[in-house]
Amino acid sequence: MKVSALAGGTGAAKLLRGLASCLAPEDLTVIGNTGDDTEVWRLHVSPDLDSVMYALAGVLDRERGWGRVNETFHCRDAMAAFGAETWFNLGDRDLATHLTRTAALRAGRSLSDVTLELTRRLGIAGLLLPMSDDPVRTRVRTPEAWLTFQEFFVRERARVKVLDVLYEGAEQARPAPRVLAAIADAELIIVCPSNPITSIGPILAVPGIREALARARARVVAVSPIVGDAAVSGPAGELMRARGLPVSPAGVASAYAPWLDALVIDAKDARYVDELATLGIAAVLADIVMTDAHTEVALARHVLAAA
């Protein structure tokens, strides 16, 4: 079965690892969020693409959920000694990714082109596509200022009040090559358990992608990043509230309702089944919290069965 998945970072990485072990590797195409891309020490960093890439290559640090396993931070410490800002942690092995990507982009190559090269060199047979080769940048408005996503998430540890979120550059952005075809040609489309506002939101903000999802012949199945009234991890709840969405599986459903066929929700959240049905979305009950390789594969199987 040819599967295309919309993905953010940490939650997506876990489900994708599970899916990769259930599918022929070349049958998985991932459309990744670049709204939280940033520059660190003049290097282009794509945190969500990298989390997915490292997960599929088997080199993601499972404990942290980001960065490479067996990582060291000597360069960061040396940069700190030179007075550089070091709140965004770049590991030594991870730096090789950002150096390679930045050099390629400066030489005029596209983000999708260099992402293909990085994934192939890491031995990934599936396709990882950035949602767009054009810059789209998520901004978070707090009572004091508009922050970049990484300033909000990493520097401020997502502890500030959020008033609004916008996707700068989205209106002018075009889907990266192969993104619309990946949606049109898929036999199943999966929306990973990712932050609906700052991971899936930027992907949907690229003109043409929402329309392609609505037209797709494949079923679209999402996994809720919310269990009960809270995110499994991270600031998705606070961001959904800022966007006027209830923090619940029903809130996730209403963010995706026009084009979503089914939402996989936690078995404890059966009380939302009827509310989802009124939105035209079938609820699939499962254990949706992934804690190890076993639960990742079990959830992946559930999602494939829901198709």
Site string for ligand GDP, 258-297 (x = CB under 6 A): ------------------------------xxx-------
Minimum CB separation of residue 226 from ligand GDP in Å reads 6
Specify the 3-state DSSP secondary structure of 287: coil
Taking Cα atoms as reference points, which of 145, 116, 137 lies closest to residue 38? Answer: 137
Distance, in Å, from the CA atom of 111 to the CA atom of 128, rounded to the nearest integer, reads: 11
- For 223, the enclosing helix (H) or strand (E) is strand 219-223
Q: What are phi and psi of 158, to 5 degrees?
A: 55, 30
Measured from the CB of residue 227, what is the shortest distance to ligand GDP in angstroms? 7
Per rule CB under 6 A, is residue 150 in the interface with ligand GDP? no
Question: Which of residues 126 and 249 has its CB atom nearest to ligand GDP in the complex?
Answer: 249
Rounded-to-integer distance, Cα 234 and Cα 213, Å = 26
* Contact flag: residue 195 with ligand GDP (CB under 6 A): yes
138 touches 196 (CB < 8 A): no
Residue nearest to ligand GDP (CB): 11
By CB under 6 A, the count of residues binding ligand GDP is 23
Binding to ligand GDP in span 230-249, by CB under 6 A: 231-236
| Residue 58 and residue 13 in contact, taking contact as beta carbons nearer than 8 Å | no
Please report whether residue 140 would count as binding ligand GDP according to CB under 6 A: no
Residues near ligand GDP, by CB under 6 A: 8-11, 14, 153, 193-195, 198-199, 223-225, 231-236, 288-290
